[in-house]
Structure 1
Amino acid sequence: MTTFVDRVELHVAAGNGGHGCASVHREKFKPLGGPDGGNGGRGGDVTLVVDQDITTLLDYHHSPHRKATNGQPGAGDHRSGKDGQDLVLPVPDGTVVLDRNGNVLADLVGQGTTFVAGQGGRGGLGNAALASARRKAPGFALLGEPGEARDIVLELKTVADVALVGYPSAGKSSLISVLSAAKPKIADYPFTTLVPNLGVVTAGSTVYTIADVPGLIPGASQGRGLGLEFLRHVERCSVLVHVLDTATLESDRDPVSDLDMIEEELKQYGGLEDRPRIVVLNKIDIPDGQDLADMIRPDLEARGYRVFEVSAVARTGLKELSFALAGVIAEARAAKPVEVATRIVIRPKAVDDAGFTVVLEEDGIYRVRGEKPERWVRQTDFNNDEAVGYLADRLNRLGVEDELMKAGARAGDGVAIGAEDNAVVFDWEPTVAAGAEMLGRRGEDHRLEAPRPAAQRRRDREAERDEVQREFDDFNPF
């Protein structure tokens, strides 16, 4: 059964915002007490949080679909809906978040580091919040926004100070088991280690972490063996340790050629040229191993490597190696720049930024893109005429109609607000008056009807009064 997963595709969906409520306060002797519809609740966010106790992405491998809860709709009597509950997903230290195209969205290093993978939708305003001096009793409310949904890729890059690299069966797992308290699986056949192992080492006053990287063979950087899957785990290390087998039973191999091959794979992978190297000649407890170590050590030192002869089985040379690694790590930590407090960068909006764009596309459609217009469209109930009129007011005040005129739009031209896969398309009618004075009865907007002459409107009002009077006369027996 798989127990270690370092790359998963995760489908996250934030909660939808609750709809606002259109309600009118009613009580005895006050049948129309004014709008009292409450606002909808906010949808829950999906947040990734680094947890030091998590070491694998296994949970998300088995359950890749995660969704936060929705906000509750508003209610009458000014009662706002309950906010959706945020969904917090713990991830290992060193998790990199990418989109489906491979672009890095976040690099999560350090306990408690967070990243909002999905933003919850805003709750819609109720009609009480939409009331104004000119629109005293709105007969509509705004809809809640849908929560953000997207596919992301999580990649784990082990956060370790020391990375042990080398051929399979070179003794990396044995070495990490005697240097630290880690208990990896150890056997005398290649590819025993199928996942990176991590251990903590204490050398004097220095405490550091050490990891072994399995599966490096010729062609690892191109995907052979397990190397391509786990080479990412050496990217964050401060020092690389080449573990060379001085007692290999394969006649076509020797420690120097093994070192050259591993260095070539690291070069092909890239980004590790500046890391200091240390060479460990392992298995010197075997007579032939000690002889070979004595033979090749001068050559390796001539190349500039610091060389240590050790035996994980006999536990010889380990103290010198441990303190040497502690010294290199202490120097690397001292050379790191001092972390400063997070600064907030304020970028004011340009004075000529309208907040939206109008572009004429090849098919003759004028497409409007911008955060506000697209959000307003999502919040509009198109089954309510008054809500559509309110949207027209907002777009007109923002200057969308003026920009359409400048772009050459004429009456009857198609206008789309939003992206191609989720746009609202309508035929544009310019010179449409805007304002609450155009509103008639609740839930209606005269801008959506053909204009009537003043005399016709007067006759209609007189006919309505006559109809009311006739109903009253029929009801009154006296």
Structure 2
Amino acid sequence: MTTFVDRVELHVAAGNGGHGCASVHREKFKPLGGPDGGNGGDGGSVVLTVDAQVTTLLEYHHSPKRKATNGKPGAGGNRTGALGQDLVLFVPDGTVVLDREGNVLADLVGHGTSFVAAQGGRGGLGNAALSSARRKAPGFALLGEPGEFRDIVMELKSVADVALVGYPSAGKSSLISVLSAAKPKIADYPFTTLIPNLGVVTAGDTVYTIADVPGLIPGASQGRGLGLEFLRHVERCSVLVHVLDCATLEPGRDPLTDLETIEAELAEYGGLGDRPRLVALNKIDVPDGQDIADLTRASLEERGYRVFEVSAASRKGLRELSFAMAQIVGEARAAKPLEESTRIVLRPTAVDDEGFTITEEDGAFRIRGVKPERWVRQTDFSNDEAVGYLADRLARLGIEDKLWKVGAHEGDTVIIGAEENAVVFDWEPTMAAGAEMLGRRGEDHRMETQRPAVDRRREKQKGRDAAEAEYLAFEALSSGRQASIEGDDEDS
């Protein structure tokens, strides 16, 4: 049973963010010393990283579900929750990551290349971070965001320079075994090779890798045989080498017919028309093999192919073939542009981007946007103050005004978020306007116990001010009367 797996479906889940803490500082002789709830820790992410020591996806075939750890909740005393640990999954060089619809998410080539498959959730803010000059003592905190969940498909495309293609039992594995140190399985029956074999070849100063593609037969690009499973390994190769069997005994087969059949399958698969081709007429050491090679060589050269007569058993012609492959590989490497230094790409938000969209669906209004959907996930709907805070944020973002413009009326159904995790409510315009429904927002009701004493002090001060004002008025009136009497006496 083979242990090579080059395609798996993986279910990855990032860690949830920890909840923020709603706490009030307590200390002797300092009652209600202010909010001191800490923030929750961010959840861990799931990261795919290329490791040169990993050559197969077998591990994920047996364990397709992977999850990172959650962030810890915040605590009083301004203590932030611990961060969740990232889950790093090591994959082979040449792994392509796709979503379930077949869209390419990442092409991982090169040791150390990484891709965040699932992003960890943000930790919620504690009430200490939510306090402000207008909201001195919030009695709520934000919830941590749930981590991202994804179903992804990983496909391995071998990173090889040369691909050997041909019918089963054409001698591809034998050529790899003598050109390199690879030890593939070799036998005299079709489909001996069930997995792509890789070997490293040195020709002069050039070192390159060579791979065979097993199971190519007529209809391989449509799923017959093993070709469809392994044709993807040809995509990264710089050179294609047709290995043609000059000693086949099957009726209806000859080197030219085999070449036309394989070329038709490659054309059906697509994307390989620009690759240079070489032809290796194999097994010239067996009876009639050399004669068939001599008859075929001229026709192949007329079609523009470079032809090499080889034998894996006697090793005839292998040196010339290896140096020809090295020449093309070297030219392909030289033609590749030099890797550019890392550039930072800035994509500013458009000036007319409101940050959300509102669409009407069957009499309801659906709101979509990164900010409103994140705010909804962070809201504790069992806390009226937190709900009021959410309403204020939505109003500041402009959702209230936009609902009026699109024709929403009081009592209409409003949906925030996607279908699978939406929040549905009946729109009440006054909710976004402010405090008349939820009381004075941003104040801890525990502060109510201090208000009567404050009010009494204010009343006493007002009484003293009123008494003083009355006394001053009386003094002024008395002074005026005394001046009037003295004036009358002088006149008389």
Shared fold (TM-score greater than 0.5)?
yes
> In 2, are the aligned partners of 1:37 and 1:76 still within 8 Å (CA)?
yes
Query: 1:440 Cα shift?
Result: 7.7
Taking only aligned residues, the RMSD between alpha carbons, in angstroms, comes to 1.7
> In 2, are the aligned partners of 1:246 and 1:254 still within 8 Å (CA)?
yes
Query: 1:342 Cα shift?
Result: 2.9
- For residue 429 of structure 2, give the secondary structure of its aligned residue in structure 1: coil
- For residue 387 of structure 2, give the secondary structure of its aligned residue in structure 1: helix
Cα distance between partner residues in 1 of 2:434 and 2:115: 42
- For residue 314 of structure 2, give the secondary structure of its aligned residue in structure 1: coil
> Which string of whole-angstrom CA distances, capped at 9 and with x for unpartnered residues, describes residues 197-220 of structure 1?
011111111010000000000111
> In 1, are the aligned partners of 2:138 and 2:442 still within 8 Å (CA)?
no
The answer for unaligned runs of 5 or more in structure 2 is: 456-492
Say whether 1:424 aligns with 2:438.
no
| Alignment partner, residue 296 of structure 2 | 296
| Alignment partner, residue 399 of structure 2 | 400
Summarize the alignment of residues 47-446 of structure 1 with structure 2, pairs less than 5 Å apart.
Answer: 47-362=47-362, 364-432=363-431, 433-434=433-434, 438-439=440-441, 442=444
- For residue 267 of structure 1, give the secondary structure of its aligned residue in structure 2: helix
Query: 1:189 Cα shift?
Result: 0.6
> Which string of whole-angstrom CA distances, capped at 9 and with x for unpartnered residues, describes residues 85-119 of structure 1?
00111111111111101111111111111111000
| Alignment partner, residue 24 of structure 2 | 24
> Which string of whole-angstrom CA distances, capped at 9 and with x for unpartnered residues, describes residues 229-280 of structure 1?
1011101100000001111121321111111110111111111111010000
Q: Which amino acid aligns with 1:225?
A: G
Query: 1:423 Cα shift?
Result: 0.8
1:321–1:443 Cα change, 3 Å: farther
Q: Which amino acid aligns with 1:331?
A: E
| Alignment partner, residue 8 of structure 1 | 8
> In 1, are the aligned partners of 2:134 and 2:442 still within 8 Å (CA)?
no
Query: 1:441 Cα shift?
Result: 6.0
Cα distance between partner residues in 1 of 2:161 and 2:442: 72
Query: 1:287 Cα shift?
Result: 2.8
Cα distance between partner residues in 1 of 2:99 and 2:120: 18
- For residue 294 of structure 1, give the secondary structure of its aligned residue in structure 2: helix
Cα distance between partner residues in 2 of 1:291 and 1:131: 90
> Which string of whole-angstrom CA distances, capped at 9 and with x for unpartnered residues, describes residues 418-471 of structure 1?
111111111111134326982286379xxxxxxxxxxxxxxxx99xx9xxxxxx
Cα distance between partner residues in 2 of 1:261 and 1:360: 55
| Alignment partner, residue 456 of structure 1 | none
Cα distance between partner residues in 1 of 2:88 and 2:105: 17
- Identity across matched positions, percent: 79
Cα distance between partner residues in 1 of 2:252 and 2:430: 85
TM-score normalized by the length of structure 2: 0.88
Q: Which amino acid aligns with 1:61?
A: H
- For residue 430 of structure 2, give the secondary structure of its aligned residue in structure 1: coil
Cα distance between partner residues in 1 of 2:251 and 2:404: 81
Comparing 102-111 with 121-130, which one deviates more in the overlay? 102-111
Cα distance between partner residues in 1 of 2:59 and 2:349: 42
TM-score normalized by the length of structure 1: 0.91
Cα distance between partner residues in 2 of 1:15 and 1:70: 4
- For residue 281 of structure 1, give the secondary structure of its aligned residue in structure 2: strand
Query: 1:281 Cα shift?
Result: 0.8
Cα distance between partner residues in 1 of 2:403 and 2:142: 25
> Which string of whole-angstrom CA distances, capped at 9 and with x for unpartnered residues, describes residues 372-431 of structure 1?
000000000000111101111111111110111111111111111111111111111113
Cα distance between partner residues in 2 of 1:288 and 1:359: 75
- For residue 11 of structure 1, give the secondary structure of its aligned residue in structure 2: strand
> In 1, are the aligned partners of 2:137 and 2:443 still within 8 Å (CA)?
no
1:443–1:421 Cα change, 3 Å: farther
Cα distance between partner residues in 1 of 2:261 and 2:137: 78
| Alignment partner, residue 33 of structure 2 | 33
